[in-house]
Chains A and B, each alone.
Chain A
Amino acid sequence: MLMFPSDSLITSFVYSMSALPPFKPVTSYWFRLSQNGQNELLCFPSPASPPPAAMIHSLFLINASGDIFLEKHWKSVVSRSVCDYFFEAQERASEPENVPPVIPTPHHYLISVLRHRIYFVAVIQSEVPPLFVIEFLHRVVDTFQDYFGVCTEAAIKDNVVVVYELLEEMLDNGFPLATESNILKELIKPPTILRTMVNTITGSTNVGEQLPTGQLSVVPWRRTGVKYTNNEAYFDVVEEIDAIIDKSGSTITAEIQGVIDACVKLTGMPDLTLSFMNPRLLDDVSFHPCVRFKRWEAERILSFIPPDGNFRLLSYHVSSQNLVAIPVYVKHNITFREGSSQGRFDLTLGPKQTMGKAVEAVLVSSQLPRGVLNANLNASQGTYTFDPVTKMLTWDVGKINPQKLPSLKGSMNLQAGASKPDENPTINIQLKIQQMAISGLKVNRLDMYGEKYKPFKGIKYMTKAGKFQVRT
């Protein structure tokens, strides 16, 4: 059979059509980079060269405006120009959250996390589980937050020496060394106002005089010789409802995530056990390393020697068989009319299944369509704001009074001539219900062994909305 060049011409045209849609699925993300960039993918370091050591090579902290305000190298210095690749990706991303967490560059890989509007960019040279790095970076942020109260650019800049000391202790040669906050606090005292004052006056330091013992003990998460005059142990059971409610008000998906956060201030080496009235509710759990797994497996009892201070004892997921009580309902009527530059906005909230408890701290937010210029609304309670730039509508409702339901009504102005938006906005709701765990989880008792004194024990329950969305 003859093969004509023309044949291939036409067919190839036909194919190129299918390859041409303006939006390719985003899975090809990584390769776009090479198109814009300098053919980076073509010049990866050859595997023949001796394997570059270390997992995390360097760390750069980048603020929202794209300035590198801190860098730390655990191995030889990596030029900050490596961050240009990051900036490139940042530019491409429409939103700050859309920057891909893993970015390949010719000789390095950048793995970043975004928290508190700061990018923590780790530079990696060779294969490493990306989650390893991500998890570590988050741990760094948690530590900063723990030390400075907030994790902002200002806080980090003010405490740059402590930050450096911390990073030095947390990583050795790019491998995590001490990430447990109890140990770190023994090595490096957290700066408090009092201590800063004392330090400036006496010239003493915030580096621990005593070397830590925790790392060597059988319970590496707890330091020895803890002493309190008031011995107390508080546990907060906090549950979050993640739900998607559809247009008609029926639940598409709903699940409950919970955590038990503890604040334990007990002298010596207490050994605690915590048992539940209804442990079967817990479907999937993850523990602080202090919890004895075997005991849980066998008896469904949490048995542990607690770290000193605040820590997260347990996170859990309530089994999906249980029906999730949805604490609020939303009546909404958001319409845009074809041809008119006006839209109606009508929203009413009401309590649903709250078991008699008050729904507090309700905050409604919604991303309105781009065509909306302004909103003239009237809130029966609380205050609302509309940001004309981001088109974000937030309504701080406060407490829901079942007798007088809060509502937000009014009109929206649309861009003249703009066509009617396809989609109605999604409504995100935040709320709090005190003294109740919505799953019904109850702590049965807390016992202490190993120490003589009687501690003060307290348990608090709370329910919050997690990712609670109402589609309209």
Chain B
Amino acid sequence: MDVGFCLRSEAAGAMRTALMSAENLQLTLKAEPSQEERALTHTKRGPEETHKAGNEDLKEMLESNKESLKLEAMKRVVGLIAKGKNASELFPAVVKNVASKNIELKKLVYVYLVRYAEEQQDLALLSISTFQRALKEPNQFIRASALRVLSSIRVPIIVPIMMLAIKEAAADMSPYVRKTSAHAIQKLYSLDPDQKEQLIEVIEKLLKDKSTLVAGSVVVAFEEVCPDRIDLIHKNYRKLCNLLVDVEEWGQVVIISMLTRYARTQFTSPWKEGASFEENNEKAFYASDSEEKSERTEAEAYVMDPDHRLLLRNTKPLLQSRNTAVVMSVAQLYWHLAPRHEVNLVTKSLVRLLRSHREVQYIVLQNIATMSIQRKGMFEPYMKSFYVRSTDATHIKTLKLEILTNLANEANISTILREFQTYVKSQDKAFAAATIQAIGRCATNISEVTDTCLNGLVLLLSNRDETVVAESVVVIKKLLQTQPTQHSEIIKHMAKLFDNITVSMARASILWLMGEYCDRVPKIAPDVLRKMAKSFTAEEDIVKLQTVNLAAKLYLTNSKQTKLLTQYILNLGKYDQSYDIRDRTRFIRQLIVPNEKSGALNKYARRILLAPKPAPVLESAFKDRDRYQLGTLSHSLNSKASGYQELSDWPAVAPDQSVRNVEVVEPVQEWAPSVGKTKKLKSDDKFYSDNEEEKAEEESESSEGSSSSSSSSSGESSSESEEQSSEESDKTSSDSGKSSSGSEETSSGSDSQQKKKKKTKKAPQKKSKTAAASSDSDENGNGPVVKDSSSSDESSSGSEDDSDSDAAAAPTTQQQKKSDRKPGPKVKSEVEVSLLDLVDFSPAPTNAPKGPVVSPSLLSDLEGLSLSNTSSTMQVTAPSFGPVKTYELLHHMTGKGLSAKYHFPRQPCLHQPGMVAVQVTLSNGSDRSLEEIHVGDRSPASLNIHCFNTIERLEPEASVTVSMGIDFSDSTQAANFQLCTKEDGFSVSIQPAVGELLMPSSLSEQDFSREQGKLLGMNETSATVAMATANASSQAVKQRVLSVANVGEVPSGQDVAHR
């Protein structure tokens, strides 16, 4: 059977070859050059006419009926294309085969079509119907490949057909086809950019796709068509993060770089202000192990957005990818997005990449070079990985050298210098020269080794190699220039070596040094000049020029000894062959030798020639590379590549994070637009919803406890906010559910911490938590927001909130406010506000900036309110009501009807100068009157409280305001005491905010900014600037800022006094 088959096919084969050769013979009649040879080799570049002849041959083969002949012909055609030869005239013959049943033939025809369709548009249209038919095939692969080829045919006329096909494919059942459609989007876009809008719609649709197959491709399309439409990403952000690990590796690279850009616009900086460029080596290094721990310490100042954390967490495993591009892109993501101490995670992986191919090494080393300038600590443990091997390519060696130089510090410099010693001897002279430069840089950077380096370099002066000597002299010269005072010894030594040095560049450098520092070597310099006078005519131009320079300088400083020598040299120079030297000589002579004509200039000769010259700066060539995103082509070239997109700076205020929420409980989505609407009525919509959300969240907490929330005074939005509160809290809780363990831990950590505090404060109160919460919101939610809501956008919202309600407060408060504070610079003072928010609020639900705004006249309002005691809603509707600066001291439920609130009137205490005045408003919420209200036991015992007089009787629904004096001894420690009635005693505590401890006073701007500087380090303040701009939008806002400014300035200034 087998044999028979073989025989038959052999026969067939023989037949075919016979046919082929027959054809070839036929053709040889037409065109003379050796057809067979070409047919066999396919490689020879023949003259033009043989081409045509060859193509004729192919044409006939293509038009034959035999599949195998056609295939053979197509293979040769592809061979021609591969060699870059023109095969376009075969188009008609080839295109006929587009519908062939033979898959390979078909594929080759596709290859041809894609290559030449552009040139033969009319004919290409013939094939379109085939593809259109194929798009309807049941087999997904045929559909996909049809779309692929169809979209690759760059014929503008079929744009509508392509558009249609893409839209259909984007809704295809098969993810593979959808993936292809994502690719097609880019092709269509480059063919016809006018389709952008429609294409964006398709992209938007595909971005929602949950298949890992599609994710990478659609992000590529997104990056190409509409990289600025960041809004399309919001809803898909979390999905992309979660899919990332399973996406194919090339897609991962694209998605990661897109998410890097996204994150930089959506999250606030995790880097501590001011510390961003500081080295924090040791701590940072160890921190990588105990990520969580160190994060906790930071948590007070900064809480990372859970989405931000999600991204970091999900990209981390990709550091283990075998694909170097993926590893690099994760590394750059960490570099640009992660908190400083976490960046170290990537070090190991980057070093691993150095074992890959040469080209990979090159790119990775470039990136490490940039990184190592800013963060030595990251790569120091891996220093040995950067040791140069003699087999490395020169550019690799140079990069390694660069990195070693960057890593050099006091501890490792001796090792590095020993290593450099080997390099200096390298046969690769360019590299040796680069090493000398590197030694020079080490010497300037690390003062301990400057002398060692200099001595080493001086030794190199006797090297035989010109390059090495020249480079050493130049570097020595630079080094001496940076610290000329100490090194006369070296100059002397160089003078001694001078006779042996032949490299003219080096000689010239030494002469210049002599002249420049002739006062340090007063005896040697004239002697050198004498020698030079002897050999002047034999020197090279560059040396001669320097000799003239030296002569001039010596003439000015030591004319007695050198006058004759100088004149002799100037005379020699006068008749030199080079006009440069003649010019210079003439000029110098006029300048230094006094005669009648020279006049004015002469007087200044000394100042001209011996002017102090600034030392050259030896710095890394990678210093400025960090302006480009790591891992990009632009970074590699150190110039902006076309299509490069700048990585934006962190936003000062995180944009609304809720935009990333996807399909939570239905009502939320219904609700969202109306929230937006109400916001727009007020000033800035974007942040507002944030505030709202957070406030609402608190409300939800408080509303559990205080059922009376409905009785809130705010007509307009009370019900709204209530509703919202429950929904929003849903939302946020789902958020935190998704949030990373790390941030969850920290935030909940701080959360519980805070709760604990509250508990201690209000220990006996059963509903301490709710009470605290409600009092929080009493304070319009600022501080607590920062810590309470794990998903909060940290300080930004706080301060925003602030200014918001302040603005509303402004009209009421301004007239009563004492004008003892001058409005500070707006932005700055806002910084203070947010600073204080954080400082003050971490321990207690108080609000410093609000303090001064409270005025006695408000008290009545407050009193009116105090009975309703609903707190939360009151704040939400702040615009219609004044700001409430009071703090809950005792809740009426816990207090058996007695409720107490307190605020700081910000007036000097009447009782004792060291005390802080506190006004306590007591109200009776019960139906019977309370008797003998007074202050009972206090703790800590040392606490000095000036009590109010016992209130004999407080009628139902009545309230009374009393004032107390408390000495907090300048700490924010809570003052605990008992508030007693006739029957009961309630433990309460007053927790002062820093601002409340302070005396109001005005302050110069200088002091202010000095203090601001001090405070900056403590807290995250990045939120403030953008807010200021956002606020600047309306007239009302200005008032706000003003009031905030007033507030901000004072507490900060007084910090000085108290700390």
Given the known inter-chain contacts A157-B43, A175-B250, A422-B464, please indicate yes or no for A6 contacting B384, CB distance below 8 A: no
C-alpha gap A215/B217 in the complex (Å): 14
Given the known inter-chain contacts A23-B433, A124-B633, A132-B250, please indicate yes or no for A367 contacting B68, CB distance below 8 A: no
C-alpha gap A102/B187 in the complex (Å): 25
**B642 and A44 within 8 A (CB):** yes
State how many angstroms separate the Cβ of A24 from the closest Cβ of chain B. Answer: 9
C-alpha gap A157/B604 in the complex (Å): 75
Mask, B352-387, CB within 8 Å of A = 1, is: 100101111011100000000000000000001101
Mask, A66-100, CB within 8 Å of B = 1, is: 00111111011100100000000000001101101
Q: Within residues 115 to 162 of chain B, which ones have a CB less than 8 A from any CB in chain A?
A: 115, 118, 139-142, 148, 151-152, 154
Mask, A222-263, CB within 8 Å of B = 1, is: 000000000000000000001010100000110101000000
Residues of B close to A200: CB separation below 8 A: 13
**B632 and A22 within 8 A (CB):** no
Given the known inter-chain contacts A10-B609, A131-B364, A173-B152, please indicate yes or no for A205 contacting B437, CB distance below 8 A: no
Given the known inter-chain contacts A95-B393, A127-B643, please indicate yes or no for A53 contacting B505, CB distance below 8 A: no
State how many angstroms separate the Cβ of B469 from the closest Cβ of chain A. Answer: 11
**B352 and A21 within 8 A (CB):** no
C-alpha gap A44/B633 in the complex (Å): 14
Question: Is the C-beta of B325 less than 8 angstroms from some C-beta in chain A?
Answer: yes
**A286 and B632 within 8 A (CB):** no
Given the known inter-chain contacts A22-B467, A367-B427, A469-B389, please indicate yes or no for A129 contacting B79, CB distance below 8 A: no
C-alpha gap A46/B643 in the complex (Å): 9
Residues of A close to B75: CB separation below 8 A: 161
**B425 and A423 within 8 A (CB):** yes
Given the known inter-chain contacts A127-B643, A201-B12, A220-B248, please indicate yes or no for A135 contacting B324, CB distance below 8 A: yes
Q: How large is the interface on B (under 10, 10 to 19, 20 to 34, 35 or more residues)?
A: 35 or more
Question: Is the C-beta of A293 less than 8 angstroms from some C-beta in chain B?
Answer: yes
Residues of A close to B861: CB separation below 8 A: none
C-alpha gap A421/B426 in the complex (Å): 10
**B631 and A129 within 8 A (CB):** yes
Name the one of A53, A157, A286, A426 contacting B322, with C-beta atoms under 8 angstroms.
Answer: A286
**B505 and A21 within 8 A (CB):** yes
Name the one of A22, A161, A289, A471 contacting B249, with C-beta atoms under 8 angstroms.
Answer: A289
Given the known inter-chain contacts A215-B176, A284-B352, please indicate yes or no for A168 contacting B107, CB distance below 8 A: yes
State how many angstroms separate the Cβ of A213 from the closest Cβ of chain B. Answer: 9
Question: Is the C-beta of B411 less than 8 angstroms from some C-beta in chain A?
Answer: no
Name the one of B317, B393, B611, B632 contacting A293, with C-beta atoms under 8 angstroms.
Answer: B317
Residues of A close to B632: CB separation below 8 A: 127, 129-130
State how many angstroms separate the Cβ of B371 from the closest Cβ of chain A. Answer: 15
**B389 and A52 within 8 A (CB):** no
**B434 and A23 within 8 A (CB):** yes
Residues of B close to A47: CB separation below 8 A: 640, 642-644
**A26 and B82 within 8 A (CB):** no
Main secondary structure of the interface of B (DSSP, over half): helix
Residues of B close to A202: CB separation below 8 A: 9
Q: Which residue of B lies closest to A240 (CB)?
A: B355
Q: How large is the interface on A (under 10, 10 to 19, 20 to 34, 35 or more residues)?
A: 35 or more
Residues of B close to A14: CB separation below 8 A: 512, 613
**A13 and B545 within 8 A (CB):** yes
Question: Is the C-beta of A11 less than 8 angstroms from some C-beta in chain B?
Answer: yes
Question: Is the C-beta of A437 less than 8 angstroms from some C-beta in chain B?
Answer: no
Contacts across chains A and B counted by CB atoms under 8 Å: 339
**B186 and A54 within 8 A (CB):** yes
C-alpha gap A389/B903 in the complex (Å): 92
State how many angstroms separate the Cβ of A422 from the closest Cβ of chain B. Answer: 5
C-alpha gap A172/B250 in the complex (Å): 12
C-alpha gap A135/B387 in the complex (Å): 24
State how many angstroms separate the Cβ of B494 from the closest Cβ of chain A. Answer: 15
**B505 and A20 within 8 A (CB):** yes
Residues of B close to A22: CB separation below 8 A: 433, 466-467, 470, 505
C-alpha gap A369/B464 in the complex (Å): 15
C-alpha gap A164/B107 in the complex (Å): 10
Given the known inter-chain contacts A128-B633, A135-B325, A286-B320, please indicate yes or no for A244 contacting B387, CB distance below 8 A: yes
Question: Is the C-beta of B3 less than 8 angstroms from some C-beta in chain A?
Answer: no
State how many angstroms separate the Cβ of A443 from the closest Cβ of chain B. Answer: 19
Mask, B288-326, CB within 8 Å of A = 1, is: 000000000000000000000000000001001111110
**A423 and B426 within 8 A (CB):** yes
Mask, A94-116, CB within 8 Å of B = 1, is: 11011011101000010111110
Q: Which residue of A lies closest to B322 (CB)?
A: A286
C-alpha gap A80/B174 in the complex (Å): 38
Mask, B483-514, CB within 8 Å of A = 1, is: 00000000000000000000001001100100
Q: Within residues 1 to 32 of chain A, which ones have a CB less than 8 A from any CB in chain B?
A: 2, 4, 6-7, 9-11, 13-15, 17-18, 20-23, 25-30
**Pairs A–B under 8 Å by Cβ, sample size 15:** A10-B549, A25-B434, A97-B393, A134-B363, A135-B323, A164-B78, A172-B180, A173-B184, A179-B249, A209-B103, A246-B422, A284-B351, A288-B322, A315-B352, A422-B463
State how many angstroms separate the Cβ of B83 from the closest Cβ of chain A. Answer: 7
Residues of A close to B343: CB separation below 8 A: none
**B190 and A27 within 8 A (CB):** no
Q: A202-B9, A253-B384, A317-B348 are in contact. List 7 more A-B contacts (CB 8 A).
A: A53-B186, A53-B189, A102-B637, A136-B250, A138-B357, A216-B175, A252-B387
C-alpha gap A114/B362 in the complex (Å): 13
C-alpha gap A136/B325 in the complex (Å): 9
Given the known inter-chain contacts A53-B186, A160-B79, A168-B107, please indicate yes or no for A4 contacting B601, CB distance below 8 A: yes
C-alpha gap A125/B262 in the complex (Å): 23
State how many angstroms separate the Cβ of B593 from the closest Cβ of chain A. Answer: 14
Residues of A close to B322: CB separation below 8 A: 286-289, 312, 315
Name the one of B115, B357, B394 contacting A94, with C-beta atoms under 8 angstroms.
Answer: B394
**B249 and A293 within 8 A (CB):** no
C-alpha gap A128/B463 in the complex (Å): 45
Question: Is the C-beta of B89 less than 8 angstroms from some C-beta in chain A?
Answer: no
C-alpha gap A175/B328 in the complex (Å): 18
Q: Within residues 151 to 169 of chain A, which ones have a CB less than 8 A from any CB in chain B?
A: 157, 160-161, 163-165, 168
Question: Is the C-beta of B1010 less than 8 angstroms from some C-beta in chain A?
Answer: no
State how many angstroms separate the Cβ of A378 from the closest Cβ of chain B. Answer: 25
Residues of A close to B357: CB separation below 8 A: 113, 115, 134, 138
Mask, A402-422, CB within 8 Å of B = 1, is: 000000000000000001111
Question: Is the C-beta of B621 less than 8 angstroms from some C-beta in chain A?
Answer: yes
**B608 and A10 within 8 A (CB):** yes
C-alpha gap A358/B190 in the complex (Å): 62
Q: Which residue of B lies closest to A313 (CB)?
A: B322
Question: Is the C-beta of B67 less than 8 angstroms from some C-beta in chain A?
Answer: yes
The 10 closest A-B pairs by CB, nearest first: A126-B643, A205-B104, A53-B190, A27-B621, A207-B104, A253-B384, A203-B68, A423-B425, A23-B433, A211-B141
Residues of B close to A161: CB separation below 8 A: 75, 78-79, 108
Question: Is the C-beta of B616 less than 8 angstroms from some C-beta in chain A?
Answer: yes
Residues of B close to A172: CB separation below 8 A: 148, 180, 183
**B68 and A422 within 8 A (CB):** no
Question: Is the C-beta of A181 less than 8 angstroms from some C-beta in chain B?
Answer: no
**A23 and B430 within 8 A (CB):** yes
**B633 and A129 within 8 A (CB):** yes
State how many angstroms separate the Cβ of A15 from the closest Cβ of chain B. Answer: 8
State how many angstroms separate the Cβ of B311 from the closest Cβ of chain A. Answer: 17
Given the known inter-chain contacts A17-B509, A127-B642, A168-B107, please indicate yes or no for A101 contacting B363, CB distance below 8 A: yes
**A179 and B638 within 8 A (CB):** no
**A101 and B359 within 8 A (CB):** yes
Question: Is the C-beta of B193 less than 8 angstroms from some C-beta in chain A?
Answer: yes
C-alpha gap A73/B10 in the complex (Å): 38
C-alpha gap A17/B467 in the complex (Å): 15
State how many angstroms separate the Cβ of B616 from the closest Cβ of chain A. Answer: 5
Given the known inter-chain contacts A161-B78, A207-B107, A286-B322, please indicate yes or no for A127 contacting B220, CB distance below 8 A: no
Mask, A156-196, CB within 8 Å of B = 1, is: 01001101110010001101110100000000000000000
**B82 and A72 within 8 A (CB):** yes
Q: Which residue of B lies closest to A120 (CB)?
A: B359
